[in-house]
């Protein structure tokens, strides 16, 4: 069975997310083969040198990049360009990207060195569009002050919901990766009483207890972002930003067996359920990016490096 990349790991203390786009008229195909080998090597090295730091780097490839690189066909079944989802008031935008890196470690030095390694290899054939430094905020909270990812699957369920199974045997133990960069209106959020914040999230702020169904608003985040116990995703969200410039946000990152589950969640949030009953958190959090990637297994990365 193919060995999967570290998509099932829990969010770490330090994280760097990177998005790159290939430059035209460069030898990016040759460099990509070297990149596949490098990612395998970096993960093996981390396991050997720093096993206690839970360090890893995960590589994701977009639909557009898959075609540019002439990677195997047929493609993973649900790997397609992400089409923006537009409600009456808010939009889950679609943004262009070729490859994505998810770098994490208990040791910040590892993340910095990995970024340097990747940049040294890619700088002549690709442009870095995003480099976002995430951090753990207290007990796994978003910068809005609420615990993030409470409904994440645990233990063996992470395999069930995070990895592609035998239904797409060519890409077994790969994963669909969807990312969005959200910026928060922190001042507007802070102006709300805690009781109002809790209604928007659908959970208590201090103790992270979900409201009963009869008191939870139908437009709360927990009501709309949850599409069912049989349709979960593995979230690795991290807060990021600069307080002095009021540019604080959440990097939403989801690994899933099926992207259709993520899409259903986004439709409920942005269009509403029913239509118009959108996720109230969007009045305070604006999606600035949105891209779908595919994360190959290590075995497939090894094949792509040849």
Q: What is the DSSP string of 222-276?
A: HHHH---TTS--EE--EEEEETTTTEEEEEEEEEES-HHHHHHHHHHHHTTTTTT
Instruction: List Cα–Cα distances, 239 to 12, 162, 283, in angstroms.
Output: 12, 22, 18
Asked whether residue 292 is domain-assigned, the answer is yes
pLDDT score of 11: 86
Helix residue spans in 20-107 (DSSP H): 28-49, 63-68
> Distance (Å, rounded) from C-alpha 197 to C-alpha 214?
17
* Residue 111: inside a domain: yes
pLDDT value, residue 210: 94
Residue 4 lies in a domain: no
Instruction: Give the number of other Cβ atoms within 10 Å of residue 140's Cβ.
Output: 18
Closest of 298, 290, 304, 296 to residue 19, by C-alpha = 290
Q: Say how far apart CA 49 and CA 52 lie, in whole Å.
A: 9
Query: Catalytic positions, please?
Result: 148
The pairing of strands 175-184 and 238-242 is unpaired
Is 6 within the bounds of a domain? no
Q: Distance from first CA to last CA of the chain, Å, rounded? A: 20
Residue 5 belongs to a domain: no
127 lies in some domain:
yes
Q: What pLDDT, on a 0 to 100 scale, did the predictor assign at position 246? A: 82
In a domain, 273, yes or no: yes
For residue 106, what are the domain limits? 14-304
Per-residue pLDDT of the chain (306 residues; tens, 9 = 90+): 689 999 999 888 999 999 999 999 999 999 999 999 999 999 999 999 989 999 999 999 999 999 999 999 999 999 999 999 999 999 999 999 999 999 999 999 999 999 999 999 999 999 999 999 999 999 999 999 999 989 899 999 999 999 999 999 999 999 999 999 999 999 999 999 999 999 999 999 999 999 998 899 999 999 999 998 999 999 999 999 988 888 899 999 999 999 999 999 999 999 999 999 999 999 999 999 999 999 999 999 999 998
Number of domains in the chain: 1
User: What pLDDT shows up at residue 286?
Assistant: 98
- For 235, the token pair is 């979230």
Q: Is 262 left (phi over 0), alpha (psi -120 to 50) or beta?
A: alpha
Q: Is residue 142 part of a domain?
A: yes
Cα angle, residue 77 at apex, residues 179 and 20 outer, rounded to 5°: 35
pLDDT at 85: 98
DSSP line for 171-222: GTT-EEEEEEEEEE-HHHHHTS-HHHHHHHHTB-TTT--BPPTTTS-TTSHH
- Distance from CA of residue 4 to its chain's centroid? 16
């Amino acid at each position: 069975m193919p060995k999967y990349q570290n998509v099932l790991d829990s969010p770490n203390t330090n994280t760097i997310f990177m998005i790159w786009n290939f430059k035209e008229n460069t030898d990016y195909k040759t460099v990509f083969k070297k990149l596949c080998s490098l990612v395998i090597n970096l993960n093996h090295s981390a396991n050997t040198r720093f096993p206690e730091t839970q360090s890893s780097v995960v590589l994701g490839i977009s639909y557009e990049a898959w075609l540019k690189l002439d990677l195997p066909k047929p493609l993973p079944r649900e790997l397609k360009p992400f089409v923006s989802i537009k409600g009456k008031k808010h939009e889950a935008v679609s943004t262009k990207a070729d490859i994505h890196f998810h770098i994490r470690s208990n040791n910040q030095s590892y993340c910095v060195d990995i970024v340097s390694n990747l940049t040294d290899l890619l700088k002549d054939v690709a442009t870095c569009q995003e480099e976002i430094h995430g951090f753990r905020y207290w007990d796994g909270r978003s910068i809005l002050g609420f615990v993030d990812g409470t409904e994440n699957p645990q233990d063996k369920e992470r395999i069930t919901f995070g990895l592609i199974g035998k239904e797409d045997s060519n890409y077994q133990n790969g994963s669909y990766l969807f990312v969005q960069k959200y910026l928060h209106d922190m001042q507007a959020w802070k102006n709300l009483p805690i009781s109002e914040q809790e209604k928007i999230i659908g959970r208590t702020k201090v103790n992270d207890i979900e409201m009963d169904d009869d008191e939870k608003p139908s437009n709360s985040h927990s009501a709309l972002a949850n599409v069912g116990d049989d349709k979960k995703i593995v979230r690795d969200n991290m807060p990021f930003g600069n307080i002095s410039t009021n540019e604080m946000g959440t990097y939403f990152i989801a690994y899933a067996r099926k992207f259709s589950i993520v899409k259903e969640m986004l439709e409920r949030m942005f269009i509403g359920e029913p239509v118009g009953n959108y996720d109230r958190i969007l009045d305070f959090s604006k999606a600035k990016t949105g891209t779908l990637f595919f994360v190959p297994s290590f075995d497939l990365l090894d094949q792509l490096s040849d």
